[in-house]
Structure 1
């Protein structure tokens, strides 16, 4: 805890309520698109641009299936992989810029949520350095995920062309398969970017709440079409990391022990949390 928001709230005014919910901060969808374009799309584009040359080499190799033919195809695939490797050298700064911008936006929303609920302005109490560890974690994770997206594409393309040579499959079939391989990777990358955007927002929610000494929060369901039933059942329920609060009631709200998975933690969970300030 860097500061005691409950004490600052009492000092600012004499609140009559013991339970003050803050406005929920959900991940901004456009930032998922920003992450995809900055870090994942260049990998997809590099492999897409390599497909015509790979398809042409496959067609030539099909009429003369020798060890040299396979080696030529491997060289073409390796050339695309080298292009992606050169991009990966710059992927960390790209993800860093995205993460810093997302943190700045979240900090602004958090400051406004606290000000509206408590009349306390956190302008001089919070800054980007407070979330450094959270950002480093999400940056490292995304650098690894970008590499995995490229590795998966390379594996799918390689499997398709070398299996095609072995089975003497027509060029058009193999071309369709390797283009579908890139399409599958593109869809996966879009889902990853959306998921990582939610995970950063959820981590920042937890970080800012801890800094303010707030140990209680409400579950806010995502309302996504494909939701987890247990997450839907948690919507609006009050949880606390303070074991002494668990089992108590505040303004008719029962305080529960937090579940093992928090909002946004499980893969592709779009739920978020709403900080709740409890004044004894």
Structure 2
């Protein structure tokens, strides 16, 4: 339900605007997302490493025409295990989103109360943001699938390159560990990024629901930032007319945030 917070709020003296306090998501949410959704997918390949290596050693010693097929069977078993896991990962993602939305809603309610003296606790519900939450869920399922596919491709490349070069199993094992390590590292980065993107989407949805059309850009203070994001720090933008690369939190691994800017027009 949309409403006009400006019409409900008490205008501050000597000012034509108020800025909501900064809402910064705790890093524990990213850790929880990794543990619940991304880590189980990576763990499949870690568990399957011994079986894949055993088949590699057998194929290397036998050098039969069935070697490639036998190794692919091991890879397919890991893939099938992942496909069976997807439903539970989707459910885990949904549970994570419920917790993040509840946290963000309470923070927005508190920020609105402090800025406008209006209590929105009875006006905001999770149903108001069901569309962005659904989009976030589907995108994360897609990301997990991509991480799984990338891990399989890297492991398959290591194994079949090893067969062609008749590399020792220990060398192939090192390459497989490297592949699973890369999948884990990417998953950690993705989980952190998806937390920022989820809360950014929710911040915009809540502000627009309240009829707030503007925001103040807050730079993340990360190391190696985008220079144009640094230059936007403290500047005012409109949700309907964002910069060319989008509002805060849109770009990959962007940790910038938006503070709602509630403005009263001069009469």
TM-score when scaled to structure 1?
0.91
> Which residue does 1:258 correspond to in 2?
242
> Which residue does 1:44 correspond to in 2?
42
TM-score when scaled to structure 2?
0.95
Q: Is 1:271 matched with 2:256? A: yes
The runs of 5 or more residues in structure 1 that have no matched partner are 243-256
Q: Quick one: distance in 2 between partners of 1:14 and 1:24?
A: 19
Q: Quick one: distance in 2 between partners of 1:259 and 1:142?
A: 25
| Cα drift, residue 240 of structure 1 | 2.3
Q: Is 1:190 matched with 2:188? A: yes
Q: 1:115 aligns with which of 113, 116, 137?
A: 113
Residue pairs, 1:29-68, within 5 angstroms: 29-68=27-66
> Which residue does 1:157 correspond to in 2?
155
Q: Quick one: distance in 2 between partners of 1:18 and 1:241?
A: 19
| Cα distance change of structure 1 residues 69 and 258 upon mapping to structure 2, 3 Å threshold | closer
> Which residue does 1:253 correspond to in 2?
none
Q: Aligned-residue CA RMSD in angstroms?
A: 1.4
Secondary structure of the corresponding residue to residue 212 of structure 2:
coil
> Which residue does 1:7 correspond to in 2?
7
Q: Quick one: distance in 2 between partners of 1:89 and 1:105?
A: 25
Moved over 2 A (4+): 13-16
| Cα drift, residue 67 of structure 1 | 1.6
Q: Is 1:174 matched with 2:158? A: no
Q: Quick one: distance in 2 between partners of 1:2 and 1:18?
A: 22
Secondary structure of the corresponding residue to residue 9 of structure 2:
helix
| Cα distance change of structure 1 residues 54 and 241 upon mapping to structure 2, 3 Å threshold | closer
Q: Quick one: distance in 2 between partners of 1:240 and 1:83?
A: 46
Q: 1:222 aligns with which of 217, 220, 223?
A: 220
Q: Quick one: distance in 2 between partners of 1:263 and 1:241?
A: 10
